[in-house]
Amino acid sequence: MAVRAVRGAVQLERDEAGHMDEQVGELLSAVLERNGLTSDDLISIWFTATPDLHSDFPAAAARKIGIVDVPLICAQELDIAGAMPRVVRILAHVESDLPKSSVSHVYLGAAGALRKDIAQ
């Protein structure tokens, strides 16, 4: 079994904890589903959030959908002029038999514009 890295992002419509939970939960669920993974396959997840998000930790959404025994960490994204606002990004390390070329990186909604080269 190999270790793979899966990327993803979602742009929030507003900075509210409930909305963040919903959107980040949807992102994580899509990453698992599209890559045929379960929470047992997760090694760790890094979350970043743009500096304009203050309502909650993105990792809290993972705990609420049952990802409870996986190391999670949150960090602030760089504050770059002109960058897309209200974005939560993830970098999940997983155990998977998928070849690198078959890993599905998930960019939901407007966040698809961030990485058109790998968004699926």
44: domain CATH number?
3.30.1330.40
In a domain, residue 32? The reply is yes
In a domain, residue 114? The reply is no
Query: What's the mean pLDDT when you consider all of the chain?
Result: 95
In a domain, residue 35? The reply is yes
- Report pLDDT for 117: 73
In a domain, residue 120? The reply is no
**Would you say residue 113 has pLDDT above 90?**
no
Considering the chain, what percentage of its residues have pLDDT values greater than 90?
Answer: 90
**Would you say residue 119 has pLDDT above 60?**
no
Buried b (16+ CB within 10 A) or exposed e, 86-101: bbbbbebbbebeeeee
Name the pTM for this structure: 0.94
In a domain, residue 112? The reply is no
Buried b (16+ CB within 10 A) or exposed e, 20-53: bbebbbbbbebbbeebebeeebbeebbbbbbeeb
In a domain, residue 117? The reply is no
Radius of gyration of the chain from its Cα atoms, rounded to whole angstroms: 14
**Would you say residue 12 has pLDDT above 90?**
yes
What is the domain range of residue 29? Answer: 2-98
